[in-house]
Structure 1
């Protein structure tokens, strides 16, 4: 979740750690019904008989697309521009041609970011939707993490806002037709300040509708309150003007909320600060203001139990109302046809809730893809094993180390150490180089050159059994250079209506064929296509890993901390086994040549006797030879600046 302009990396995470320590996992998101409603809560759907766990083949590739930006062909890019001035993408822009282009990148899952109806400035009162107050909306297009109606979708994305759910359903069906699954966001920690669901099913109450707002906390309240005080909008810094200073009838420095609610990041003041998540309110999951839990805790031995055992644990337990609400929301979307969820700021919600929610999801769809945003490595194992997350962002460990290598500020040894340290959970740690929260590789504040992502992407995609994620525009070197208004350069804005220039050249006026790309952009797209197709299909990438870095760093004068080498392989010792050698050069200025050492331990595992073995390039048409002498292998490697090779051992019939 991106919050204030581009301050999150520098400001929010350190503050978040302090908040989490102070609140002992407070800030938990609420979605429940009060005690009277619990007895008549919606019946749980039965599992779908045709679905069984483990149907997914190969290594998953997630393509994250910011839905309202993807199909926008408008190139105006006026700061704080309106929808009419700067344009907006629609569900219908994901045509068969567009989806085929996404599938070409090896994509198994599309994460459609920003689908649930969130607060926007555009006027949809003709459709019964209340106006949103720009004093509590970030940007003109609004943050996708300030959800206003969990049972509907963003009206900006529909050709006919009255038909928006049907248009999204058609997109889900088109995506499935192209052999890909659909992920959407669930933001359990907070909702928009003015949450109002028009599309909720019968018998479902809005968040806060049945709260006792005279007290700070009650177990089945959905929100925390500041009794006796009214909400006040933040004190704006001199550099900030709502909507860029454009007049608006509701932009008066006021928002009616009495009593005030706690803000999304846990701030308890009636007037949050400008860098708080002031457009949202925190949801209560049954965590008291002192941080103690008002629900059954999960015994530690459940870390070794499956989702069925977790599901049984919660049967007959009295859980807070917010738990029921989010259970019903996620099951609604599963029934709609969605295949999984990306959970925003999951670490701000207690792990017991995740055990409850995810076991209920897995009961309905055992193959549901559950991806969570967690930034504290000491919590990773709890959220995987106790919280039943399939995957977590590998941000703080692998991505952060890889970013330093790309910038020439860190050694490749750090990647080897991270891979070793995470070995017990590496399959669950999703790898990426870009997403909506992070700087674009080509931005000057990151690497300044999209080509520096090439060796990094080879390493990120091939070093582990974890899924890989691509952000739209990454494959053509999008630099995120636009000052869109609330969103500033280096990241593509998620708050504003804006065009994405490099991506628009791949769109080529709706042909989605890359016909308008420059030669360099087309070459980069071809690199990503070949790499990600290989990543999605190579059996060795779901098999063994052997690091070659240490032996070569110690015994090879031409090999340095700007190179990284490792092996991936299948285990069966059959003729159709894949035995891969992966070598990348992160030096942007110098080519490198050396004789790669393949240690005796790996040669023995591969059951290779002394002799010469042909090697075939998997990403290029290059060939090489593996020479095994006295049980130790050597391969002559020649890499250009930012070059990589992936060689497969060839066996003669």
Structure 2
């Protein structure tokens, strides 16, 4: 996704620290990449896992759609299908496609074709796997969504079920703990290595010792950064998916944390990386050393001995998750942790593995725990995010993140533009997925750094986040004023994500006012029932810095107002819906005087018709 704002913050009033503009990595990070992706979708034989309905039940006949690109002619298309979980091949049952229509594509300035086939209804719990092959004009066979390196045809899958998003997810407040930076074990201090790429000494016992902080805040779920054995501080390159990194603790420590958390009605989510492993993982070492090993097919090797890796990082070889051996290893690991009591997974780089893999993964997860949540990191377009319905329970809302930071962090869009986006965004997604919101995370500049430490702006953003009907995520320390020591971007052009992973503040270092604000905000969210709201509607305002949106919760009507300017504003109550009481305010001075609501500079409020302020 593209930069937001200029290369350096240029808000009026000089003397501010230099803060680089936002950059969110991903396959669609630039306009050139987006154009190339659109062109690619109109070339060759493309399925892109387009099925209807997208989340089939046992009563549903499923329509499979394929695009034949402008550069290709086919005489026939066939779908090879299995319903016993095995990999489909040419010996399987087949379903023929029929040509549906021609389509004009302005980008390629040519025509494509749409072909469709149907798969009959299947029993509850069936995993339908399929491959698609076409006969080209010259007699050659072409596989849909074939691998660009190996030519292997894509393998697709969907699960037939009635497995809804777990109810608890809708009401969740998720607290994101970066384990190495949260808290050392009792009696220990931070190790203080030379820089933030080193090991600082946070542990699972440290999380246990500080569990009361998370409970008192009001969070209902804890997302732990990767805790599997790994050679790095971040852990996103595991060497074993069935163990715990010794410097972080032990299996018994995790078991103890899960038990204590469950006693306090808090769920535990593990960060799980199916996309790639460490180049020190035994399976990769064996695959690299022995071309005849069973593990060789878990990875994609090139003729020159190189291999496919995560964004070209050689220490993180990508896993060929559609290989049954690789998929079985990952699924077995996930089920292992679920049996221990884990309540779900945040899935790193979830757009890396195929959707077919996630269909298999989700079915296996639900077999162990029907209430387990699967939350994907999908840094892609809205239609790509939505395509994970029925495969995951939700995706992190990077699209909303960008707009919130553009509106309240960098001041590059006004209230109208943000309000339009927000209303359309939530309306378009509806209830097909949960879209947890967040202001920052471990891979980007913290919000408080972006706004040069202006906690008024942080409070505005937090109020917005917690007023919306999607689960909010708090990145550890945001609630007590934790920021950074350096921008992610260095003068040499490198971006160092570890700068957003400073050690947690404890004791007198914490901002008590900010912590109390977050605690009250979470309580207000719970009391209003906004988490179960039905969406938002933008209210027209003439002030470009004043956002007003209508919300609903538990049968009540509310208006959220955010004043982004350095000047106070007065808003007539007649322009608002359900305005009678101030339910929550970001600070002092917000008041109703007669027929007007007064908002000081950089202040926000949630107003409604409740009997008493919360």
Question: Is this a same-fold pair by TM over 0.5?
Answer: yes
Give 1:370-519 correspondences, 5 Å limit: 370-387=374-391, 389-395=392-398, 397-406=399-408, 407-422=410-425, 423-427=427-431, 428-443=434-449, 445=450, 447-463=452-468, 465-481=469-485, 494=498, 500=503, 503-504=504-505, 507-508=506-507, 515-517=508-510
Change (3 A) 1:435 1:15: closer
Aligned to 2:194: 79
Counting helix residues as a fraction of each chain, which structure ranks higher? 1
Cα pair 1:480 1:489 within 8 Å, conserved: no
Please report how far the alpha carbon of residue 113 of structure 1 lies from its aligned counterpart in structure 2 after TM superposition: 0.5
Partner SS state of residue 188, structure 1: coil
Aligned to 2:332: 328
Please report how far the alpha carbon of residue 362 of structure 1 lies from its aligned counterpart in structure 2 after TM superposition: 2.0
Change (3 A) 1:95 1:598: same
Please report how far the alpha carbon of residue 25 of structure 1 lies from its aligned counterpart in structure 2 after TM superposition: 11
Aligned to 1:105: 217
Q: Which runs of 5+ in 2 are unaligned?
A: 1-19, 49-84, 88-124, 126-162
Please report how far the alpha carbon of residue 147 of structure 1 lies from its aligned counterpart in structure 2 after TM superposition: 1.1
Please report how far the alpha carbon of residue 446 of structure 1 lies from its aligned counterpart in structure 2 after TM superposition: 5.1
User: What do the CA deviations read for 1:237-269 (whole angstroms, capped 9, x no partner)?
Assistant: xxxxxxxxxxxxxxxxxxxxxx4322222xxxx
Residue 222 of structure 1 pairs with residue 258 of structure 2: no
User: What do the CA deviations read for 1:454-486 (whole angstroms, capped 9, x no partner)?
Assistant: 1111112212x2110000111122221159999
Please report how far the alpha carbon of residue 281 of structure 1 lies from its aligned counterpart in structure 2 after TM superposition: 0.2
Change (3 A) 1:145 1:486: farther
Give 1:628-647 correspondences, 5 Å limit: 636-647=596-607
Residue 362 of structure 1 pairs with residue 370 of structure 2: no
Aligned counterparts of 2:203 and 2:491: Cα–Cα separation in 1? 20
Please report how far the alpha carbon of residue 69 of structure 1 lies from its aligned counterpart in structure 2 after TM superposition: 0.7
Aligned to 1:65: 177
Aligned to 1:338: 342
Partner SS state of residue 226, structure 1: coil
Please report how far the alpha carbon of residue 75 of structure 1 lies from its aligned counterpart in structure 2 after TM superposition: 6.2
**TM-score, with structure 2 as normaliser:** 0.66
Aligned counterparts of 2:502 and 2:290: Cα–Cα separation in 1? 42
Give 1:539-578 correspondences, 5 Å limit: 539-550=529-540, 552-553=541-542, 560-570=543-553, 577-578=555-556
Aligned to 1:263: 309
Please report how far the alpha carbon of residue 183 of structure 1 lies from its aligned counterpart in structure 2 after TM superposition: 0.6
Cα pair 1:451 1:524 within 8 Å, conserved: no
**Stretch moving more, 6-15 or 87-96:** 6-15
Aligned counterparts of 1:171 and 1:66: Cα–Cα separation in 2? 15
Change (3 A) 1:447 1:380: farther
Aligned counterparts of 1:89 and 1:481: Cα–Cα separation in 2? 19
Give 1:272-291 correspondences, 5 Å limit: 276-286=312-322
Residue 146 of structure 1 pairs with residue 237 of structure 2: yes
Cα pair 1:614 1:623 within 8 Å, conserved: no
Change (3 A) 1:484 1:352: closer
**Stretch moving more, 561-570 or 7-16:** 7-16
Residue 615 of structure 1 pairs with residue 593 of structure 2: no
Cα pair 1:223 1:261 within 8 Å, conserved: yes
Aligned counterparts of 2:197 and 2:463: Cα–Cα separation in 1? 39
Change (3 A) 1:327 1:523: same
Cα pair 1:184 1:342 within 8 Å, conserved: yes
Aligned to 2:559: 581
Partner SS state of residue 582, structure 1: strand
Counting strand residues as a fraction of each chain, which structure ranks higher? 2
Residue 593 of structure 1 pairs with residue 570 of structure 2: yes
**TM-score, with structure 1 as normaliser:** 0.63
Given the alignment, which residue of 236, 257, 260 partners 1:174?
260
Please report how far the alpha carbon of residue 210 of structure 1 lies from its aligned counterpart in structure 2 after TM superposition: 6.6
Cα pair 1:79 1:483 within 8 Å, conserved: no
Give 1:99-138 correspondences, 5 Å limit: 99-120=211-232
Cα pair 1:351 1:382 within 8 Å, conserved: no
Change (3 A) 1:323 1:211: farther
Change (3 A) 1:424 1:218: farther
Aligned counterparts of 1:475 and 1:596: Cα–Cα separation in 2? 31
Cα pair 1:52 1:366 within 8 Å, conserved: no
User: What do the CA deviations read for 1:414-470 (whole angstroms, capped 9, x no partner)?
Assistant: 332222322142552111101111211222x5554333111111112212x211000
User: What do the CA deviations read for 1:476-526 (whole angstroms, capped 9, x no partner)?
Assistant: 222211599999999996499x852xx32xx22xxxxxx443xxx221111
The number of equivalent residue pairs is 467
Aligned to 1:533: 523
Please report how far the alpha carbon of residue 322 of structure 1 lies from its aligned counterpart in structure 2 after TM superposition: 2.2
Cα pair 1:52 1:365 within 8 Å, conserved: no
Change (3 A) 1:166 1:495: farther
User: What do the CA deviations read for 1:567-589 (whole angstroms, capped 9, x no partner)?
Assistant: 22246xxxxx43322211122x2
Cα pair 2:583 2:607 within 8 Å, conserved: yes
Aligned counterparts of 2:28 and 2:169: Cα–Cα separation in 1? 39
